[in-house]
Amino acid sequence: MKPSAARESFQRKVELLESWAAKGGLPEGEYCPRGPAELARWVDMERGLTAWSNPNLAAPAPSGHYPELRARFDTVAAKLLKPVQRPGTELQSLKREVQALAQQMAVLSSEHRLMGQALTRERQLKEIAQAQLAEARSELARIVPIR
């Protein structure tokens, strides 16, 4: 296949996928390639979609011949292949997220409380050590008078 014919086929495939995405998604019974290899093999003669064999044709930049088309394909394929959410699943997903955040908040609150207790204990130990140091200095000053 000539390079210009391959580019035209690549462009037609991307434009078809983009038109489906603009209309709300993959029409029933239609096909969306899952990657550049499937895109290269996709043939639909009625739409002028032909295959190509050059692996670099749809490769990403910098080695690809048409990085702008590859970027457009990646974007539209991600939209078309995204799992369709049934009604109510978004609410369920949000409820799960709220529950996970509540659990995380409980763990962090507990860790905060434990760290506060540890800090209080360290302060108490510091005060005890300072008192012992002051007592030792006082004892030393009593034993060895300063001249």
Range of the domain at 114: 95-147
Distance of CA 54 to the CA centre of its chain: 31
Question: Are 50 and 21 found together in one domain?
Answer: yes
Question: Are 14 and 64 found together in one domain?
Answer: yes
How many helices (H) and strands (E) the chain has is answered by 4, 0
pLDDT in tens, 64-118: 788 899 999 999 999 998 876 666 777 888 899 999 999 999 999 999 999 999 9
Q: Which of 81, 107, 138 is the last residue of a domain?
A: 81
Q: Does residue 88 belong to any structural domain of this protein? A: no
Question: Are 74 and 10 found together in one domain?
Answer: yes
Question: Are 59 and 113 found together in one domain?
Answer: no
pLDDT in tens, 17-75: 999 999 988 898 898 999 888 999 999 999 989 998 886 777 776 767 888 999 999 99
Which amino acid, 101?
L
pTM value surpassing 0.85: no
Tell me how far apart the alpha carbons of residues 34 and 58 are, in angstroms, rounded to a whole number.
13
Q: Does residue 90 belong to any structural domain of this protein? A: no
Residue 145 has pLDDT above 90, yes or no: no
Residue that is written with structure tokens 């369920």 in the block: 92
Question: Are 18 and 53 found together in one domain?
Answer: yes
